Structure 1
């Protein structure tokens, strides 16, 4: 039997100004993402859709999930593959393309730009190559229907 894992979150809308969704402009998109034992994530919609720019939006959280999963699997593959990573930072970028009707859209690509520092020059080539192996094991990458591109840079400490 296959092993499964469950993930429970609560999304709590906090943007009722008093008249609910009486009109498109009568409510805030503010909400909180909650999970047991964790601090809330203040969220909203993208500012282009009347959201609060000071709060996380679902599109940013999706791009962050892709980048996090890639990093965690990459670090695992490096650890078991003999590549000693000293530092890792990714400036990921996602693109949402709107439908021509203007009513919907979807994430059409994510580009990961990890900057990895390894402890020895002899590890640089393998460190670069391991980015290509992550897609086959990353839970999030295997779950989405858009391309995830990688543009890594490898430095030696």
Structure 2
């Protein structure tokens, strides 16, 4: 396996330039994400930040990337220990702090997976889930706290 991988997308602004009541420029915050050999995805800023709430926003997509990468890292570790997972879902929650100048950042994310396992110790599953942080490419790239609140059931 190679040690380096490159990922590439295309982003094209699809919004309009308008002016407000004070004649200040306003950019409609709609864009299209393009991927090789995959469907395009329309996005916008969150409605709180003058975007279209019917489209995906970057904050949601960050949660998607983190949650799915964590899941795949967890599955990898379970496969090494021959642990059978029969169900997995997650409802991550991210908290953003907006600064007085309008900038902002994620302060923390809490992953809340519901994990259904077959004949194993729940404590061991929690340990493995916590270890997934060290394998998750997205988590290792984040500079905010990532908390875990897994709920474990048996099949």
Q: Structure 1 length normalisation: TM-score?
A: 0.90
Q: Does 1:40 align with 2:40?
A: yes
After TM superposition, list the pairs within 5 Å mapping 1:15-54 onto structure 2: 15-16=15-16, 20=17, 22=19, 26-54=26-54
Q: Does 1:113 align with 2:119?
A: no
Aligned to 2:64: 64
What secondary structure does 2:137 align onto? coil
Q: Deviation string for 1:74-119 (max 9, x for gaps)?
A: 01111111211000000001111011x2411101111000000011
- Equivalent-residue separation in structure 2 for 1:89 and 1:137 (angstroms): 19
Q: 2:136 aligns with which of 121, 135, 138?
A: 138
What secondary structure does 2:38 align onto? coil
- Unpaired stretches in structure 2, ≥5 consecutive residues: none
1:65–1:140 Cα contact (<8 Å) kept = yes
Aligned to 1:128: 126
Aligned to 2:55: 55
1:141–1:148 Cα contact (<8 Å) kept = yes
Q: Structure 2 length normalisation: TM-score?
A: 0.91
Larger relative strand fraction: 2
- Equivalent-residue separation in structure 2 for 1:50 and 1:108 (angstroms): 21
Q: CA RMSD in A?
A: 1.6
Give 1:21 deviation, angstroms: 5.4
- Equivalent-residue separation in structure 2 for 1:114 and 1:26 (angstroms): 39
- Equivalent-residue separation in structure 2 for 1:60 and 1:103 (angstroms): 19
- Unpaired stretches in structure 1, ≥5 consecutive residues: none
Give 1:5 deviation, angstroms: 0.6
Give 1:32 deviation, angstroms: 1.0
